[in-house]
Amino acid sequence: VSLFTLVLQVEECSEQATGGLEICPPHQDEWLPVRCGRRSLVVNIGDCLSFWTNGRVPSTRHRVSLPDAAEPSQRSTGRLSFAFFVNPRQDAMIRQVPAGAEGEGPRVTTTFYEWRKNRIRHAIESKSRSKATAKER
């Protein structure tokens, strides 16, 4: 729920290694490893920037997975990552860019605090609904 996150990798991850940062591209259900070389900088676009740009810059679903302990040959030799989360001030006004090509359409204006509070509430409610649906199956 940030504007964006900078992740600095300072160790090289081998192609055979498992675990680490993974992304799920928009409209897909497959998680893909983020392959990076030594001293790579990864930029994760956050939900706030996606909201602010009215979806023109989509946020990246991402997660960090652990290496398979049962497969020592699949582990990386080591990895050190530094994450820097970038957010506006709590009282910063966020006004969406126009949705249409001609600058038309509704635009939402809110503070970052209110937007983030609503985004987290929505995520919790969505998770609860999906758990309830899974139990019904």
Question: Which of 30-39, 40-49, 50-59, 110-119 shows the lowest per-residue confidence on average (mean pLDDT)?
Answer: 30-39
pTM of the model: 0.75
Question: Which of 10-14, 99-103, 117-121 shows the lowest per-residue confidence on average (mean pLDDT)?
Answer: 10-14
Q: The domain that contains 66 carries what CATH number? A: 2.60.120.330
Where does the pLDDT of residue 137 fall: very low under 50, low under 70, confident under 90, or very high at 90 and above?
Answer: low
Please check the confidence at residue 68 and state whether its pLDDT lies above 80.
no
Q: Which domain holds residue 100?
A: 4-136
**Residue with token string 């809110």:** 110
Average pLDDT over residues 10-22: 66
Please check the confidence at residue 15 and state whether its pLDDT lies above 60.
no
Distances from the Cα of 127 to the Cαs of 6, 61, 80, 101, in angstroms?
26, 15, 31, 34
Number of separate domains in the chain: 1
pLDDT at position 78 is 66
pLDDT in tens, 75-103: 556 677 889 999 999 999 999 988 766 66
